């Protein structure tokens, strides 16, 4: 059975159709890349999946459990956690404390939560910044903090919203290695939105194409990116 099922999700904002009967499934341990031109509805989709935005129609089912409509914290507790395109650190706290907060939502013992946080911080390569205030971090490391926070909750499904945005090409590889490692080591299921095609090609098992709120097609990365319809939809978009 798929770990995440999205069934006919629609959302409109004052007449503008942001999502139009979007349906897809994600298998356990699968990495699904979501691509589409700007305004295609990708971030809206994530907001709906994470329970931050209630859909007008449709259902979101996580491992057999209906999580449609949130609230956001309950969806996160159920195991579906998202990261944000524009990073949202807890600015007044240290990096470690940021991750601790996330761990504490799962683990009652402070010592255990702390230990888990230290471990996660090490895994994403943030040990050197462990005690620095979160708002002093440069972009690349803030991205990792987002990731670390999400991982500290031991999610079942991770939604990554443009995790590579704002990173220089040299900074991207380590992040991609990290993500690949997550799937290898933990069997983590991931859905990620990305504009950087190379990353999509490298990481995804399958690719879903969104255009104007509707699913255009889905399939293996090579097949999708070669499809003429997809190419046309991206015509005029900047290559990365």
Partner 1 sequence: MRNLAVLGVLVVVLAPLALVLPPAQQAVAVRVLIFALMAIGWNVMSGFGGMFSFGHAAYFGIGAYTSVWLLVKHNVSPWLGMLAGAALAAAFGTLTGFLALRYRLRGAYFALATFAVAEMLRLLATGSDLVNRAVGYNVPLLRGNSWSMLQFPAGSPNYFWVGLGLVAAAVAISLLYLRSRAGRFTLAARDDEVAAASVGVPVLRYQLFTIALSAAITAVAGVFYVQYYLYVNPDLAFGASVSIQAILPAVIGGVGTVWGPVVGAVILGPLSDVTATLLRQPPEFLGFLAGRGGLDVMLYAILLIVIVLALPQGVYGAAAERLRRWRS
Q: Which residues bind partner 1 (CB under 8 A)?
A: 50, 52, 71-74, 76-77, 81-82, 84, 88-93, 97-98, 100-102, 104-106, 110, 149-150, 152-153
Determine the angle formed by the axes of helices 110-123 and 139-152, rounding to 10 degrees: 140
Minimum CB distance to partner 1 smaller for 141 or for 234: 141
Residue 7 near residue 21, CB atoms below 8 Å:
no
Q: How far is the CB of 231 from partner 1 (least distance, A)?
A: 34
Q: How far is the CB of 26 from partner 1 (least distance, A)?
A: 19
Q: How far is the CB of 223 from partner 1 (least distance, A)?
A: 33
Minimum CB distance to partner 1 smaller for 19 or for 113: 113
Residue 126 near residue 137, CB atoms below 8 Å:
no
Minimum CB distance to partner 1 smaller for 72 or for 178: 72
How far CA 169 is from CA of 35, 172, 175, 190, 198, in Å, comes to 19, 5, 11, 22, 11
Minimum CB distance to partner 1 smaller for 159 or for 233: 159
**How many whole angstroms separate alpha carbon 81 and alpha carbon 204?**
19
Q: Is 46 exposed, middle or buried (0-12, 13-18, 19+ CB in 10 A)?
A: buried
Q: How far is the CB of 94 from partner 1 (least distance, A)?
A: 12
Determine the angle formed by the axes of helices 169-186 and 139-152, rounding to 10 degrees: 10
Q: How far is the CB of 82 from partner 1 (least distance, A)?
A: 6
Minimum CB distance to partner 1 smaller for 65 or for 74: 74
Question: For residue 39, is it left (φ>0), alpha (ψ between -120 and 50) or beta?
Answer: left
């Amino acid at each position: 059975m798929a770990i995440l099922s999205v069934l006919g999700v629609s959302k409109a904002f004052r007449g503008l159709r942001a999502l139009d009967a979007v349906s897809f499934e994600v298998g356990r341990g699968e990495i699904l890349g979501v691509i589409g031109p700007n305004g295609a509805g990708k971030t809206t989709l994530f907001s709906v999946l994470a329970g931050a935005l209630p859909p007008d129609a449709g259902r979101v089912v996580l491992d057999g459990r209906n999580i449609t409509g949130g609230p956001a914290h309950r969806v996160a507790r159920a195991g579906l956690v998202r990261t944000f395109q524009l990073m949202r650190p807890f600015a007044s706290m240290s990096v470690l404390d940021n991750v601790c907060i996330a761990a504490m939502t799962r683990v009652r013992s402070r010592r255990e939560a702390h230990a888990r946080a230290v471990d996660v911080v090490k895994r994403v390569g943030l040990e050197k910044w462990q005690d620095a205030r979160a708002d002093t971090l440069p972009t690349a490391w803030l991205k990792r903090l987002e990731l670390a926070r999400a991982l500290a909750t031991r999610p079942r499904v991770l939604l990554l919203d443009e995790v590579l945005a704002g990173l220089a090409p040299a900074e991207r590889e380590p992040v991609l290695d990290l993500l690949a490692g997550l799937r290898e080591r933990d069997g983590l299921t991931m859905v990620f939105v990305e504009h950087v095609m190379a990353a999509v090609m490298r990481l995804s098992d399958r690719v879903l194409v969104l255009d104007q709120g509707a699913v255009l097609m889905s399939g293996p990365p090579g097949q999708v990116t070669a499809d003429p319809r997809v190419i046309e939809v991206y015509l005029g978009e900047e290559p990365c």
